[in-house]
């Protein structure tokens, strides 16, 4: 018990912190970070934050978004069949008419239908992921500068 006393003090202090931080301010901020963190992980590694590998309708030529679009999303990578990966940075996605929205981005990523309703080059995989992963990776794309 003599050894446990300091530990109990620490636990009590942690408990106090936890109850302080359960106030309204920190909760939404934490939720936001995890959306972006999950989206970033999918983009860079092809696996979500729980370790699930994203799939596609046909086996993708490369396993992550970054492997074709670059870690910063700048695109311009030449792929087999003459395909060139698109620039996914905010400037590029806002410059097309109509500008990409979260919804049209999710549609492009999951069905290969672009902002104008046209089919993207089949080298761009038609991704199959959970609605949450699809949302998070699309949100992450919208943060690319």
Asked if 144 interacts with ligand HEC (CB under 6 A), we say no
- Determine the Cα–Cα distance for residues 15 and 2; give it in Å rounded to an integer: 21
Among 40, 41, 68, 106, the residue binding ligand HEC under the rule CB under 6 A is: 68
Identify the burial level of 15 via C-beta atoms within 10 angstroms of its C-beta, where 0-12 means exposed, 13-18 middle and 19 or more buried. Answer: exposed
Asked if 141 interacts with ligand HEC (CB under 6 A), we say yes
In this chain, which stretch among 2-10, 13-21, 23-31, 77-85 interacts with ligand HEC, using CB under 6 A?
A: 77-85
Torsion on CA atoms 40, 41, 44, 46, rounded to nearest 10: -130
Asked if 137 interacts with ligand HEC (CB under 6 A), we say yes
Asked if 123 interacts with ligand HEC (CB under 6 A), we say yes
Closest CA to 121 of 76, 94, 82, 87: 82
Asked if 126 interacts with ligand HEC (CB under 6 A), we say no
Among 40, 41, 105, 126, the residue binding ligand HEC under the rule CB under 6 A is: 105
Q: How many residues bind ligand HEC (CB under 6 A)?
A: 25
Q: Could you tell me how many residues make up the chain?
A: 145
Kindly tell me the sign of the dihedral angle through the C-alpha atoms of 131, 132, 137, 138: positive
Among 41, 60, 107, 126, the residue binding ligand HEC under the rule CB under 6 A is: 60
Asked if 114 interacts with ligand HEC (CB under 6 A), we say yes
Give buried/exposed letters for 130-142 (b at 16+ CB in 10 A, else e). eeebbbbbbbbbb
Site for ligand HEC, rule CB under 6 A: 60-62, 65, 67-69, 79, 83, 85-86, 88, 105, 108-109, 114-115, 120-121, 123-125, 127, 137, 141
């Amino acid at each position: 018990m003599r050894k446990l006393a300091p530990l109990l003090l620490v636990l009590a202090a942690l408990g106090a912190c936890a109850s302080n931080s359960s106030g309204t301010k920190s909760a939404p901020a934490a939720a936001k970070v995890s959306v972006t963190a999950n989206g970033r992980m999918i983009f860079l590694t092809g696996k979500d934050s729980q370790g699930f590998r994203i799939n596609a309708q046909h086996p993708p030529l490369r396993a992550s978004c970054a492997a074709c679009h670059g870690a910063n999303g700048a695109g311009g990578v030449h792929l087999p069949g003459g395909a060139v990966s698109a620039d996914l940075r905010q400037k590029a996605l806002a410059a097309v008419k109509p500008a990409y929205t979260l919804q049209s981005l999710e549609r492009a990523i999951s069905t290969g239908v672009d902002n104008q309703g046209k089919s993207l080059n089949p080298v761009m995989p038609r991704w199959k992921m959970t609605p949450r992963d699809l949302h998070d990776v699309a949100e992450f794309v919208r943060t690319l500068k």
